[in-house]
Structure 1
């Protein structure tokens, strides 16, 4: 049995105050106020549920050492949708003003779903492909990927019910439908590893001592605070990659190495740091970095 606002608040002498008297004389206003009260209470409950759910998700991330998972992101989005849908349905069914509409909406869900499915095939396709991506996991949140078909590359920042969000090197955001991502050939540069790598090539002059150049380059990479060992040695300690003498070029000798860094470091920042350190190290050790130049000689025609 419903209890109206006019039955809750009474004065001690048993007579209603003017406000409650007004509500009793205007039942529609009473219903509107009770509906607003229900909306406020339900909104507070939904807010608390979202906060608790967010804390649980954060604890899961901490257990995973801070790495966010596609499954948790997808579950979070679905959970939010269900909570909001249930809250809206509850509010509609709680008042005479909206009960008929709520019943119609609830009973007509199947019909609405059929109509929506026909009118929004692309949307449903994106949602289903989002489930497939979160299940098969061709990439994770934080992975650096490249779409082979169109060359778009970046770090996976988010997976929603409809889209995958990529952040490119120049910090632009690409919002790509899940159906497009699911049909793309994807190159995952972070596949099953907690490190990323970049191949570097450095040119030195023919007069340079190659052993010294290799040692200087390797030490410069090791001195970088954002580079990490690429493998574990037999003694259990981390080891940095060797520097190799790769080739003879027309004007230079080419040295190459692979440097590793953690996923949280932007690639462009890592490249800048390594290139700057190697250049300064080569110059400090008197190793010339060759470059092409043109020597123009001007001749003056002889008079008479």
Structure 2
């Protein structure tokens, strides 16, 4: 009886030590993350990943020690080894996804397709947001509705990503407008250019030589002659994806008001109905 109490006391002590060690380690790493990422401006991804890996490693070591020093668990271990073939197959099948997520998390840390605070887009799921956290199992993304999307690392490794921050945040946004066939294309282009250029988030990307030659600040093209509209696309530079979204919304509103004032029609589908009178039958 005393031996059992001693064994379980040791087990409880190991669990308590593991808990305290994990708590202390995470707090220390939190301080390191804050200092490194803010003061030294280093990438915080590796520190966040290490913080989440620390608890896993500490508890794994504690579990191994418990198996080694507790006779009751040694007996269980012997029983498990008796059916090692079936057990290995079962565990391997059940934990395949878990290990896949862990390995994918390690590959994300090593090869860095994205980091914490990067803006990424997952094409397959039409998901776009900011990376908040990378753990052993999953990645947390904050979308533009302030929701947290939790995605297993294995799924992220198998899909196509668009990283808007990996080299530079500045992007070229395509903003499209449709005008009627009766409207003046040159006048419409002049309105669009004027409204975009005076927006505070617009970035003039011209080289010095282009500025000296008075080249247009914005490139615009007629990209299609659709069934009901002439489609014009403006290629607009901004400093970030967030700025591009705000600029696009503001420009849609200001251009629509200018179009209304200056007689540029934004078309909508027309239908022409023809009614034919049937000839009267001879009586």
What's the counterpart of residue 165 of structure 1? 140
- Aligned residue among 129, 154, 169 for 1:155: 129
**How do 1:224-239 and structure 2 match up within 5 A?**
224-225=199-200, 227-229=201-203, 231=205, 233-234=207-208
The CA deviation at 1:173 is 4.9
Higher mean displacement: 195-204 or 227-236? 227-236
What's the counterpart of residue 29 of structure 2? 53
SS at match of 1:231: coil
The CA deviation at 1:36 is 9.4
- Aligned residue among 143, 164, 167 for 1:192: 167
1:218 and 1:67 map into 2 onto residues whose CA distance is 38
Change (3 A) 1:59 1:218: farther
Higher mean displacement: 59-68 or 203-212? 59-68
Change (3 A) 1:145 1:279: same
Query: 8 Å contact 1:228–1:240 — kept in the other structure?
Result: no
TM-score where L is the length of structure 1: 0.60
- Aligned residue among 232, 254, 259 for 2:236: 259
1:241 and 1:75 map into 2 onto residues whose CA distance is 46
Change (3 A) 1:159 1:37: closer
1:67 and 1:230 map into 2 onto residues whose CA distance is 29
The CA deviation at 1:202 is 0.8
1:128 paired to 2:91: no
Change (3 A) 1:57 1:189: closer
2:210 and 2:57 map into 1 onto residues whose CA distance is 49
SS at match of 1:289: coil
Q: Which runs of 5 or more residues in structure 1 are unaligned?
A: 1-28, 300-304
SS at match of 1:61: helix
Q: Which runs of 5 or more residues in structure 2 are unaligned?
A: 82-86, 277-283
What's the counterpart of residue 222 of structure 1? 197
Q: What root-mean-square deviation, in Å, do the aligned CA atoms of Structure 1 and Structure 2 show? A: 4.9
1:148-194 alpha-carbon deviations (Å, 9 max, x no partner): xx44432253322112334556666543322232233x141525221
Change (3 A) 1:224 1:61: farther
TM-score where L is the length of structure 2: 0.63
1:201 and 1:177 map into 2 onto residues whose CA distance is 36
